[in-house]
Structure 1
Amino acid sequence: MAGSPGPAPSSGQDHKPDAVAHADIVPMVWFSCGLAALAGLLFGMDIGVISGALPFIKQEFHLSTGMEGWIVSSMMVGAAVGAFFAGGISNRFGRRKAMLYSAVLFFFGALVAVVAMNTTLLVVARIMLGLAVGVASFTAPLYLSEVAPERIRGTTISFYQLMVTVGILAAFVSNLAFSYIESWRWMFGVLMIPAGMLFLGVLMVPNSPRWLAAHDRFDEARNVLNKLRGSREEIEYEIKEIQESLEQEEQSRGFDMFKENPNFRRSVLLGVSLQIVQQFTGMNAIMYFAPQIFEASGFEGTAAQLWSTVATGLVNVLATFIAIGFVDRLGRKPILYAGFSIMAISMAVLATILGIGPSTSFLQYTAMGALLVFVAGFAMSAGPLIWTLCAEIQPLRGRDFGISASTVANWVGNFAVGQFFPIMLVGIGGTMTFGILAALNLLFIVFTLLLIPETKGISLEKIEKNLMGGKALRDIGA
């Protein structure tokens, strides 16, 4: 049966020749990855803009708590739908065209938000923006994983997450600037700039060689690899690995492969679990509702709260450089252990202070410090590395389906956070809410130990061979 489990055929060459393992990284790789990572800028700005715009939208349209949550979370509904269809779009038209479609949709979603005269039209705009972000958040890490050599794959996908954090910071700074004229429409209007940048940038990058090969366009795949790899040996070795992975999987793809192959089901479920873990660290709740959290911590006034969000965004950007610098040196799991530990401790400190009551300046700034440390812990670990792992663990013929499933899970979790976090803050209070987040981050350390593989320096084809050979999930990067 196509895609049935069993030992994968061996190339007889489990270790790469030195000429392949140590080939130079050509400038075109960095250029292509940098432009594709602009999709992260869209993602980040759309996350960041709502926290500053929401107080003014609430004032203009007299929002209830339920409608406030819906305006935040409607973007996640669109993103989940976009991610669901992104696999089919990416598989049929290619990673490059999928990112172009995303940029166009994002531009017009921002435009509709600018002219929205009621909450219904604003929700429509948020859903359009979500559709664009869903496609982009699926396609960009996938493209990066397929274009970059494995020795810098973690770095390039982490660079995508860096652009997410830069986008969040840019949105926070923009929010702060436009808060002085109380213009939430201009806050949304700024989103059209990264949409145009992504569209123009993606026009200049090549298509994914692995996507071309999966569609029997090997000559084009070889031509792209000629631009992306530093030696003839590296190109031939990579083409051979891609061919073997395609032959192993025969013609099963997507959902058919999911139904037929229990090993593929394992990788899909792991990807889904990873994205749920990322959402329930609590990071996006903090990004969406940062002003309210700082208000609960004792900081009064919109300007003070927005300045605090700018500090949060700056820490988010700077800490991501830790992941970029060390993910391909230390590996994925050690950084995840550190990040989840930092987040658990920070949330516990914040919960304790809110329980006591931030009645003094010392306690207020300690609460703010705990929040910033939490953001740093996320930005150096679960932020970039979850996307990296989800792009690495899926086999080639099932990659579109597997990453689509995990990206949908990301946005469903994101929706749940956006919808229920403000209700939890009001209903059970900050102490209990942040205490729950601290406990969840402790559980995620155990999850990392038992299920997450170490994929540092391992080719996508080797990971696939281990997965299809039936190795335990935490060992498929061996």
Structure 2
Amino acid sequence: MTTSSPSSQINRQTILVCFLAALAGLLFGLDMGVIAGALPFIADEFTLTSHHQEIVVSIMMFGAALGALCSGPMSSSLGRRKSLLLGALLFVVGSIGCAIATSMEILSVFRFILGLAVGVASFTAPLYLSEIAPERIRGSMISLYQLMITIGILAAFLSDTALSAGGHWRWMLGIITFPALVLFVGVLTLPESPRWLAMRNKNELAARVLKLLRNSDREAAEELNQIRESVKMKQRGWQLFRHNAHFRRSTYLGVLLQFMQQFTGMTVIMYYAPKIFEIAGFSTTREQMWGTVIAGLTNVLATFIAIGLVDRWGRKPILKLGFSVMAICMGILGYMFYSGITTPVEQYVAVAVLLIFITGFAMSAGPLIWVLCSEIQPLAGRDFGVTCSTMANWIANMIIGATFLTLIDTIGSPNTFWLYGILNVICIVLTFLFVPETKNISLEHIERNLMRGEALRHIGQPPHRSLSSRAAAVK
């Protein structure tokens, strides 16, 4: 029998397991960030137009949407761990293929394969983390996944900057192979999700995993009893979606949340950062690349704000603050591009505003949307709901990546940034109307509130404050 530890202490093994799972986010970030520095050199080598560049960027998001769509059934049948292993293998194949591509068409094929890998990782890693972590640190651990994404983006920007002097875009794309191999080996050491094991009636294995990850045998046994009770309802996502209006509400909310995250405008900064610094008046490749590195570093540091506050302040207040910051910054950038940036002072003011925007995203919508999407789905439709929301993320991501340069060319930089400012204002309104606060609330209680018919913004209310609905849950 293990010795009980204070409930406030976190099992070190849990932290280690969550960290290894979050390495999938590192590969996610590397693949997002690396194209920003490589794209200008690829465009020169293959003589790409703006439209062709948008295809090279957005084809990965198309693959990610398809990968996310397949990840639900796959993670349900194979398990979370094997799904992560497959994602790591796809990262290796896609990275090597991109590095040796001899045409835009071949490059696009392997970018698509990388997209499949990203789709699998973006679905499976947050789901796995939400099922491994104790509820008191669930938000922080899922935010760790977002932190790894930002570290991956920063690492890609640094690598791109180091390799840009010689225009070595193949190395920029191929270097991702090495962390992909590390992820594959790391996942081999991970335990399977105890929730998935319980769903497969492997209760002894689930108990063994929980004893490894919790502070005492008693804590592990109590959690296993809760899980066994909740998994009596089998996965029947599509059937539940068709016949249960409450599950449709949570699915639509997950889709809405992911569109909100992508339409902030952060995606275009990550994919087209050198182009944005060029618009801001930084004309040399060196200036644009180092500006991109600073943007990536800001993204990493600001994510620590979310990790530190998500389980203290809650999800909803941080989201409202983040969307407000981003709306203001997009408005200011649009005005600066409209009035013209002509002096060094104006250039650095524009950079400062851009960095504040990145801070607003990294402390709010970046990590917290993933947290919420992993929390709001009922167990019986969990895989289906998270699949839909993750696929929506990549569809929205593809739309943004495939339209930014076109928007710049057609309506101009000021109107493009003002458009994103307006979209952030809309996100603030949607947060007030629909987003629940789920801090310190168990997944089982969130599900009970949802199925009882509570308004979406109230499904995270604790038991004594829950607004009882008269709508009966549809079994």
Same fold (TM over 0.5): yes
Structure ranking higher on relative contact order (CA contacts 8 Å, 6+ apart):
1
User: Which ranges of structure 1 fall in alignment gaps of 5 or more residues?
Assistant: 1-18
Structure 1 position 265, deviation (Å): 1.0
The match for 2:191 is: 206
CA distance in 2, matches of 1:461, 1:212: 17
- Answering whether residue 282 of structure 2 is matched by residue 313 of structure 1, we say no
Q: 1:284 corresponds to which letter in structure 2?
A: T
- Answering whether residue 256 of structure 2 is matched by residue 273 of structure 1, we say yes
Structure 1 position 236, deviation (Å): 2.5
Match for residue 462 of structure 1 among 428, 442, 445: 445
Sequence identity (%): 55
- Answering whether residue 209 of structure 2 is matched by residue 224 of structure 1, we say yes
Matches within 5 A, 1:233-272: 233-247=218-232, 249=233, 251=234, 253-272=236-255
Match for residue 105 of structure 2 among 120, 125, 131: 120
CA distance in 2, matches of 1:87, 1:445: 30
Match for residue 391 of structure 2 among 408, 411, 414: 408
CA distance in 2, matches of 1:403, 1:365: 40
Q: 1:166 corresponds to which letter in structure 2?
A: I
CA root-mean-square deviation: 1.2
Q: 2:61 corresponds to which letter in structure 1?
A: M
Larger deviation: 299-308 or 227-236? 227-236
CA distance in 1, matches of 2:367, 2:328: 20
CA distance in 1, matches of 2:235, 2:40: 50
Matches within 5 A, 1:7-156: 22=7, 24-156=9-141
CA distance in 2, matches of 1:254, 1:111: 36
Q: 1:331 corresponds to which letter in structure 2?
A: G
Matches within 5 A, 1:353-432: 353-432=336-415
SS at match of 2:312: coil
Query: For residues 390 and 20 of structure 1, do their structure 2 counterparts lie closer, same or farther at Cα, with a shift above 3 Å needed?
Result: farther
Q: 2:409 corresponds to which letter in structure 1?
A: V
Q: 1:158 corresponds to which letter in structure 2?
A: S
Is the 2:7–2:215 Cα contact (8 Å) retained in structure 1?
no
Deviation readout 1:26-57 (Å, 9 max, x if unpaired): 11110100000000001100000000000000
CA distance in 2, matches of 1:290, 1:409: 23
Q: What TM-score do you get using the length of structure 1 for normalisation?
A: 0.94
- Answering whether residue 154 of structure 2 is matched by residue 169 of structure 1, we say yes
Deviation readout 1:4-23 (Å, 9 max, x if unpaired): xxxxxxxxxxxxxxx99936
Instruction: Give the aligned length.
Output: 458
Deviation readout 1:354-398 (Å, 9 max, x if unpaired): 000001111111111111110010000000000000011111221
Match for residue 160 of structure 1 among 145, 149, 160: 145
CA distance in 2, matches of 1:450, 1:75: 33
- Answering whether residue 441 of structure 2 is matched by residue 441 of structure 1, we say no
Q: What TM-score do you get using the length of structure 2 for normalisation?
A: 0.95
CA distance in 2, matches of 1:355, 1:323: 33
Is the 1:254–1:397 Cα contact (8 Å) retained in structure 2?
yes
SS at match of 2:95: helix
Q: 2:165 corresponds to which letter in structure 1?
A: Y
Q: 2:280 corresponds to which letter in structure 1?
A: S
Deviation readout 1:72-127 (Å, 9 max, x if unpaired): 00000100000000111110100100000000011010101111001110000100
